[in-house]
Amino acid sequence: MAILGDVRLLAVALRAARAPLTVALALLLVLGALLPPAGAVAMAHLVGRIQSAVPADAALSAVALPLLVFVLVLVLGHVVDTAVAPLAFLATARVDGAHRARVAGLAAAGSTIAPLEDPQVRALIRAARADPENWTEQTPGAGAVAGLRLAGNLVGVAGGCLVLARYAGWLVPALLLPALLNGVLRQRDAARGIAVWRAGTLDGARGQRWQDVATSPAEGKDIRIYGLGAWLTARIQRHALAMEAPVWALLARTIPREAGQLLLVGVPLVAGYTVVAAGGAGAPVGSDRVVAATAVLVSGVAVFQALGWTEDLRVAVAAVGCLRATVDLASRLPTPDQGGASRPAAGTGPDGAARVRRVGPPLVRFEGVSFGYPGARRPVLDRLDLEIRPGELLAVVGLNGAGKSTLIKLLAGLYEPDEGRVTADGVDIAVLGAAAWRSRLAIVFQDFVRYHLPARDNVVLGRGDHPPDPVALDAAAADAGLEPVLARLPAGWDTPLARTVAGGVDLSGGQWQQVVLARAHYAVRMGAELLVLDEPTAHLDVRTEFEVFSRLAGNRGGASVVLISHRLSTVRHADRIVLLDGGRITENGDHDELVARRGRYAELFAIQARRFATGGRG
Amino acid sequence: MTARRATGHPAPDTKPVRPYRYLLLWAELLAVSWRRAPLLTAMQFVIPAAMATAVIGGALALRVTVDAMIRGDAGGAVAGAAGAGLAGTAGIVLGALDSHTAGILIGRVAVLDLNPRVHRDITTLDGLEHLERSDFQDRLTLVRNAGWEIVLSLWSANGVLFAVLELTVMLLLLGTVNPWLLWLLVFAAVPLWFDQRGNSAIIRADLRAAAPIRRQRHLFDLATDPAAGKEIRVAGAGAELARRQAAAWDEAVRLRLRAQLVAAGWRMAGWLLFTAGFGAALVLVVHQAARGAGSAGDLVLAVTVAAALRQSVYTGVRYTTNVASAGRVIEPYLWLRDHVRAQRTRVGGSAPSPPRLRHGITLDRVGYRYPGATGPALADISVHLPAGSVVALVGEYGSGKTTLVKLLGKLYQPDTGRILVDGVPLDELETRTWRSRISATFQDFGRFPTRFAENVGVGDLPRLSDRERIAAAVREVDATALVDRLPDGLDTELDAALGGVDLSEGQWQKTALARAAMRPEPLLVLLDEPTASLDAPSEQEIFDRQMERSRRSAAGTNAVTVIVSHRFSTVTGADLILTLHHGRLVEAGSHRELVAVPGGRYATLYRIQAEAYAREGRRPTAAGAGGPEPDVHLRPN
């Protein structure tokens, strides 16, 4: 049954809270649920004693015990309520922390990134990430604790029924059955509600994205110049309404149905109470009647309350959605064991980096490599052959969309070729293993990562599997010309590079490019032998760009460099230039050779050089 | 000449909002709710009143039942029991109605009234300051989806009111049993007060934990993002990031757990004190009942009321906490309203834009300083941009080029000097109509989470769904091949986060350029590094067409085109080149004039690139690395 599977999911999630905490919390919840029936019994006895004591004038001593018990129950009730809060918080936090670590681990596990780019996987990650953006989402921790509470409630119902059974056994089915029926009806309404709000999550996410747009300084300029304010407001509202309006309609339809509760709850409750009070239908006689009536009247309603629709149930159901998505996600992604993302430090031990360095830059070959994106009409790379020779500065040139960035991803093993293979010194990089191969690479991607962390971490994370090396750090900063940027940072290396962090600053695009160049230089200093730069200077001005390449030429040591750039004035100084066109390398040679060939490269170069050649109007 | 010293960068208002403003806000929200849904609004008062009545009535009915049974009055007992049953039923049904009606009402007022108002305020303010200043940005983040929480605060305040009312009535009821029981009022205040203290400890801890939580979220998002995943895998940073993510989570949990324990301590102390008082009260009632001065029913009443009392105190505390934590969003909300009001009165202008430029745009000693920055971004810029001309802005990064472009788009107000459009000061022109005659592509252009066609179409909103016009704009910027390659052509979704296609930087740039090509007759075209990520033929194509269009417009709107570019190949054809350095205009003239300036900035920068394309090429070497320092311009935090 589906519901058993859901319960199991919540129970498994609860394991992360660890046994002692879970047991303590469960015991407290059960105790808390049993206290109201216990209180009812104590109170009934108290009333009975007083009633029988009144004529005897025996006063307090006769009622001391039930009074004491009753006050004790009250005290325990407060203690339990109070103690549950921090324990429930801790359990929630442990479960959610473990869950988020697991989801992040799943996403980071695979050695290629193709699965992560699958829209379905991205949707699952969104559903599984347990970071609620609106009230329709709940975390596994909250769900697991809510599940515990619900279980406690059931124990409470059982306790209440025991009390009823003790004084008026016939009342148990008379109250329990309508209560169950009422519960089932309420659940059905609730299930309908859940389906409705689940249907709205995509609109919720879209509305959120448009709100991001409304408050972003980048989009803010377009919004103002093109007068999009009112349109955007309407767009956000449209998504909000698409998400919320069905929920309102459903609630409105539910309101009249709540009147049905008057019958289901009211009739048995009023009938049961009056019969007990009137002393009919098997009710006890004499002074016990008062005791029984008191006990029944105090604990009867609780049965209905505990079996009705509660917030806990909603939370648990929403959390199950998140857990199901996680299961689905896990089945679509490779398990952490297979992956190379969490590479053991340098793979084989302390000598790893040093050993790699001694080998020298590899000879890399693309041998008949084909690759196409899923769903694309034609492949990006089509039986491509390419050689990256040890120690050379190779430039890759091509039009936008020619596949230059894809080539790099294949080089790093981030995609697997559909056909052909990529080898390093004759060995297929798939055989080398992702971790070992990547430890020899340093890559500056076009969409590099901007860590909201101190400047230091932004550089040393270029080689994240080694302890930070302060000497290499300073050297890398010098290599990349980062010092002037550093000098202006309020706390130097310790300045967080995000204004959302206390004491942090935002860098401009050009400044970020310099930080990322330092990151790559750091990796080279830490042993990488093949440096790849994908459009590293698009946002730098002429002079800075020139300096960057001068430094690169001077500071790359023995490393090979692959450079992708549209600025052919820099590309021309490469040892070798290859032109990527139609999925293959169509031209190959140094600048002079390629110009002499009068091919596509020569044409591209001419376009950029023309105006300089004519000295102006061109 | 009035060189206006702007008063436009007020220090953030750090004073806490005065209580009366909360009351005014609630009164306003009540009025809005009433207009939006009078019946639902009325129910928010009727239902709590009925619920309180049910609770109190239930306790009274129990007393009646017990007393009648002891007296042997069967009719009274049955009536009392029926009353107790009805009260219990009413409690359950009313509870459900309360949450349903409140849910609809709060949702409707938030979604239909409050949130749109906030979004309109954020998106239609003239300037960018509220988006670019980090302290303002923080408030926007809080307020942009806070409608629900703000409306909820009204009904939470209402809930506090009813909880107090209910408490008072219950205590008065106890007072009828024995006046001494009125002292319980004092004991009930203790948990109320202690709970409140505990809750404020939790709210404070949540604020402190916000930083590690943000860090955790950031690292989580990186770990699950394919783009970041590339670099993290290559750098082998996955394990380290996972460790940091766990550490950030643990830090937040530690902070919050401590507060939870503190709060539990306060709560426990409060309730133990209350229970002590209540125990004493019970002894009193029992004593009285035993002496025959009271009845067993009194005892039942006292006990039932005491249990209900705890519930009311819980409810009261929960609502008070809601109100207190709503301050987190109400304060930035009130701030935004004040800010918008201040901006709207400051930025005026109602003159229409001219149909075509006759004379051009004149900058007269224009200066601008970013709020909180130490020096000006632009100072004392005086230059005339002739109608029909193409103007290139040149300079190293941080020299003020983008700032100047933004001033022309009226995205900033100059601190000093003024900008004249055909002799009319820019701040006298109506912002909306002036901008409707601008076409612009910025360096960090907008990427809208929607279809490709809409991403282009927003460039001319009235023709958002005019596919022919959009296709023409796409052709204009040499992007036809790009569209052909998209899986669903013009209808391809571009929101990668929600399953759309992830465009490359260059593809996005073409999309933004197509957007700028939508407006038919601009007076001013602003292009801020529009082709940094494009290949040479595309760049050439786009610039050639832009030049052609600018020349053509001389006969029409006579537009001014302003281009910022680092690539001199695209600059040399401009009619006027302005070289900026450290926020000052250091050179102005045509390419021929400027290259002829000995030792000039433009000439130097030009030569660096020209040599790079010359037959021999200037070869970058390690020795060449010691050039002048690049400008470093940090945005203030």
pLDDT of residue A309: 66
CB distance A342–B395 less than 8 Å?
Answer: no
- Calpha distance A112→A370 (Å, rounded): 16
Is residue A63 assigned to a domain?
Answer: yes
pLDDT of residue A358: 46
Q: What confidence tens digit (pLDDT) does each residue in B179-211 have?
A: 888 888 888 888 888 888 888 888 888 888 888
Taking a C-beta distance cutoff of 8 angstroms, is the pair B423, B463 a contact?
Answer: no
- Calpha distance A7→A150 (Å, rounded): 11
Mean per-residue pLDDT for A295-310?
Answer: 78
Q: Which residues of chain A are within 8 Å of residue B532 when distances are taken between CB atoms?
A: 538-539
Query: At residue A316, what are phi and psi to the nearest 5 degrees?
Result: -65, -45
The pLDDT-based confidence of A611 (bands split at 50, 70, 90) is: low
On whether any CB of chain A is under 8 Å from the CB of B72, the answer is no
Q: List B residues 238-297 in contact with A (Cβ-Cβ < 8 A).
A: 238-242, 244-246, 249-250, 253, 256-257, 260-261, 263-264, 267-268, 271-272, 274-275, 278-279, 282-283, 286-287, 289-292, 296
Joined together, the tokens standing for residue A140 give 């596994």
Count other C-beta atoms under 10 Å from residue B18's C-beta: 10
pLDDT of residue A93: 96
Residues 6+ apart with CB under 8 A from A231: B458, B461, B464
Q: What confidence tens digit (pLDDT) does each residue in A365-381 have?
A: 999 999 998 877 788 99
pLDDT of residue A280: 57
Nearest-CA neighbor of B441 among B329, B359, B546?
B546
Chain B interface disruption, residue of A57, A224, A452, A521, most B CBs within 10 A: A224
CB distance A225–B438 less than 8 Å?
Answer: yes
The full length of chain A comes to 618
Q: How far is B165 from chain A (nearest CA, A)?
A: 23
Nearest-CA neighbor of A131 among A352, A325, A402, A330?
A325
Q: Domain range holding A459?
A: 391-415+433-612
On whether any CB of chain A is under 8 Å from the CB of B538, the answer is yes
CATH number of the domain residue A571 falls in: 3.40.50.300
The pLDDT-based confidence of B444 (bands split at 50, 70, 90) is: confident
Is residue A355 assigned to a domain?
Answer: no
Query: At residue A124, what are phi and psi to the nearest 5 degrees?
Result: -65, -40
Nearest-CA neighbor of B456 among B518, B549, B500, B508?
B518
Q: Which residues of chain B are within 8 Å of residue A262 when distances are taken between CB atoms?
A: 89, 93
Q: Report the DSSP pairing between strands B438-441 and A427-428.
A: unpaired
Amino acid of residue B200 = S
Q: What confidence tens digit (pLDDT) does each residue in A63-73 have?
A: 788 888 888 99
Whether residues A20 and A169 share a domain: the answer is yes
Mean per-residue pLDDT for A418-423?
Answer: 95
The H or E element spanning position B372 is none
Joined together, the tokens standing for residue B413 give 């107000």
Query: At residue B514, what are phi and psi to the nearest 5 degrees?
Result: -65, -40
Q: Is B337 helix (H, G, I), strand (E, B) or coil?
A: helix
Q: What's the distance, CA A454 to chain centroid?
A: 23
Chain A interface disruption, residue of B97, B197, B224, most A CBs within 10 A: B224
CATH number of the domain residue A103 falls in: 1.20.1560.10
CB distance A261–B502 less than 8 Å?
Answer: no
Query: At residue A483, what are phi and psi to the nearest 5 degrees?
Result: -55, -45
Between helix A600-614 and helix B536-553 the angle, nearest 10°, is: 40
The pLDDT-based confidence of A237 (bands split at 50, 70, 90) is: very high
Mean pLDDT across chain A: 85
On whether any CB of chain A is under 8 Å from the CB of B210, the answer is no
Joined together, the tokens standing for residue A125 give 């990650």
Taking a C-beta distance cutoff of 8 angstroms, is the pair B259, B205 a contact?
Answer: yes
Taking a C-beta distance cutoff of 8 angstroms, is the pair A505, A490 a contact?
Answer: yes
Number of A:B CB contacts under 8 A?
622
Nearest-CA neighbor of B625 among A543, A590, A297?
A543
On whether any CB of chain A is under 8 Å from the CB of B449, the answer is yes
**Least confident piece of the model among A333-337, A360-364, B30-34, B555-559:** A333-337
Helices and strands, counts by H and E, chain A: 25, 10
DSSP code, position B262: H
Residues B301, B302, B306, B311: what is their CA dihedral angle, to the nearest 10 degrees?
Answer: 20
Whether residues A121 and A196 share a domain: the answer is yes
On whether any CB of chain A is under 8 Å from the CB of B374, the answer is no
Joined together, the tokens standing for residue B402 give 């983008």
Whether residues A260 and A408 share a domain: the answer is no
Position A351 pLDDT exceeds 80? no
On whether any CB of chain A is under 8 Å from the CB of B619, the answer is yes
Amino acid of residue B541 = E
Q: Is B614 helix (H, G, I), strand (E, B) or coil?
A: coil
Joined together, the tokens standing for residue B440 give 């612009």
Give the angle B260-A6-A324 at the CA atoms, nearest 5°: 85
Amino acid of residue A216 = S
Using a pLDDT cut of 90, give the percent of chain A over it: 44
Give the angle A220-A225-A227 at the CA atoms, nearest 5°: 90
Report the residue from B101, B529, B605 with minimal CB separation from A542.
B605
Count other C-beta atoms under 10 Å from residue B209's C-beta: 20
Residue in A closest to B299 by C-alpha: A47
Q: List A residues 275-314 in contact with B (Cβ-Cβ < 8 A).
A: 276-279, 289-290, 293-294, 297-298, 300-301, 304-305, 308-309
Phi-psi region of A360 (alpha: psi -120 to 50; beta: other; left: phi over 0): left
Most confident of A50-64, A522-536, B61-75, B297-311: A522-536
pLDDT of residue A613: 58
CB distance B239–A591 less than 8 Å?
Answer: no
Chain B interface disruption, residue of A397, A507, A541, A572, most B CBs within 10 A: A541
Q: How far is A616 from chain B (nearest CA, A)?
A: 5
Whether residues A408 and A501 share a domain: the answer is yes
- Calpha distance A533→A518 (Å, rounded): 12
- Calpha distance A397→B25 (Å, rounded): 61
pLDDT of residue B347: 63
Query: At residue B559, what are phi and psi to the nearest 5 degrees?
Result: -70, 155
- Calpha distance A173→A170 (Å, rounded): 6
Most confident of A383-397, A541-555, A601-615: A383-397
On whether any CB of chain A is under 8 Å from the CB of B225, the answer is yes
- Calpha distance A580→A572 (Å, rounded): 15
Phi-psi region of A302 (alpha: psi -120 to 50; beta: other; left: phi over 0): alpha
Question: What is the per-residue DSSP string for B284-316?
Answer: HHHHHHHTTSS-HHHHHHHHHHHHHHHHHHHHH
CB distance A227–B435 less than 8 Å?
Answer: yes
Q: How far is B421 from chain A (nearest CA, A)?
A: 17
Q: What's the distance, CA A597 to chain centroid?
A: 52
User: Which residue bears the tokens 């290499």?
Assistant: A472
Whether residues A308 and A411 share a domain: the answer is no
**Least confident piece of the model among A234-238, B188-192, B499-503, B582-586:** B499-503
Q: Is the dihedral of CA B528, B544, A567, A543 positive or negative?
A: negative
Q: Report the DSSP pairing between strands B416-421 and B424-425.
A: antiparallel
- Calpha distance A193→B626 (Å, rounded): 68
Number of domains in chain A: 2
CB distance A414–B107 less than 8 Å?
Answer: no
CB distance A507–B65 less than 8 Å?
Answer: no
Q: What is the side-by-side strand order in the sheet with A427-428?
A: A381-388, A364-371, A419-424, A427-428
Taking a C-beta distance cutoff of 8 angstroms, is the pair A498, A452 a contact?
Answer: yes
- Calpha distance B401→B443 (Å, rounded): 11
CB distance A219–B448 less than 8 Å?
Answer: yes
Taking a C-beta distance cutoff of 8 angstroms, is the pair B312, B166 a contact?
Answer: yes
The pLDDT-based confidence of B24 (bands split at 50, 70, 90) is: very high
Q: What confidence tens digit (pLDDT) does each residue in A432-447 have?
A: 888 899 999 999 998 8
Is residue A421 assigned to a domain?
Answer: no
Q: Which residues of chain B are within 8 Å of residue A137 when distances are taken between CB atoms?
A: none
Q: What confidence tens digit (pLDDT) does each residue in A135-160 have?
A: 677 899 999 999 999 999 889 889 98
Q: What is the side-by-side strand order in the sheet with B584-589?
A: B438-441, B524-528, B560-564, B390-394, B576-581, B584-589
DSSP code, position A593: H
Whether residues A399 and A324 share a domain: the answer is no
Which one of 3.30.930.10, 3.40.30.10, 2.40.30.30, 1.20.1560.10 gives the CATH number of domain B19-344? 1.20.1560.10
Q: Which residues of chain A are within 8 Å of residue B259 when distances are taken between CB atoms?
A: none
Is residue A370 assigned to a domain?
Answer: no
Whether residues A129 and A26 share a domain: the answer is yes
The full length of chain B comes to 637
The structural domains of chain B, with segments of one domain joined by +, span: 19-344, 353-437+521-584, 447-520
On whether any CB of chain B is under 8 Å from the CB of A260, the answer is no
The topology (CATH level 3) of B353-437+521-584 is Rossmann fold (3.40.50)
Is residue A361 assigned to a domain?
Answer: no
**Least confident piece of the model among A109-118, A202-211, A285-294, B429-438:** A285-294
